[in-house]
Homo-oligomer: A and B are copies of this chain.
Amino acid sequence: MTRRGRRPANSQTRAAVMGAARETFAARGYLGATIRQIAATAGVDPSLVLYFFGSKDQLFRTVLTSSVDGRQLLSQLFDGPADELGQRLVTRFLRLWEGDAGATASALLRTAVTEQRFGTLVREHIAPAVTTTLVERVGVDPAQASVRAALLASQLSGLVLARYLLRIEPIASATIDWVAAAIGPTIQRYLTGALPTPPATAPPVLNTG
């Protein structure tokens, strides 16, 4: 039985699949989304999704990397004088998350937390990009940049968890200005304040994952 009205395999169709994938991953996360749902939303046959993208894994990576121009985003976030960066960075970060980028970013965070191989994406791409930005744009000592980037990640990722994913009150309902005033000083210290001597490189034995 031929299906009438289905889309042909051209670049418009590819864009429709990308749009459907972005929407479905944002709503259901990586694990919850299926190729079948994405195909139905895009109005195509599931085999066409696989024809364009190969696998759900590959489709998810494509959605992520095409949604976000990482370098431009980081430049925006870290722009301006370093000595007032904390509060400004939190404000910009939350505005971004509450804009178009947020749904995709939430899907990435949910997936990175549950699927080891997407944790790698954060570790190997996002963290090093932030480290580089700290050196180039904020003037952080290169020897401390990765420590400062990791501390920054520890507070911003937890802020996203508390405000958007777990919705813990009153942080979930607070204004961006309030959150920036409360958390800004933490970010400022992590970026430019005094820190304890950098950690030893020998890893402790961790039994959790």
Contacts and interface: CB of A to CB of B under 8 A. Distances in A.
A1 interface: no
Interface stretch (A38-46, A50-58, A109-117): A109-117
Contacts of A77: none
Interface in A117-148: 119, 122-123, 127, 146-147
A32 to B, nearest CB: 8
Nearest to A185: B189
A113 B119 contact: no
A5 interface: no
Interface in A189-209: 189, 195-204, 206-209
Interface residues of A, number: 69
Interface stretch (A11-19, A66-74, A173-181): A173-181
Contacts of A158: 153-161
Contact of A123 (B164, B168, B199): B168
B114 A29 contact: yes
Contacts of A161: 113, 153-154, 157-158, 161
Interface string A50-89: 0000000000000000000000000000000000000000
Nearest to A203: B173
Given A103-B208, A110-B114, A161-B113, A183 B199 contact: no
A7 to B, nearest CB: 28
A196 B204 CA distance: 37
18 contacts: A31-B114, A98-B207, A119-B167, A123-B168, A127-B168, A147-B171, A153-B171, A154-B155, A154-B159, A154-B162, A155-B158, A155-B186, A157-B166, A170-B198, A172-B203, A178-B196, A178-B197, A181-B196
Interface of A: 29, 31-32, 97-98, 102-103, 105-106, 109-110, 112-114, 119, 122-123, 127, 146-147, 149-151, 153-176, 178-179, 181-183, 185-186, 189, 195-204, 206-209
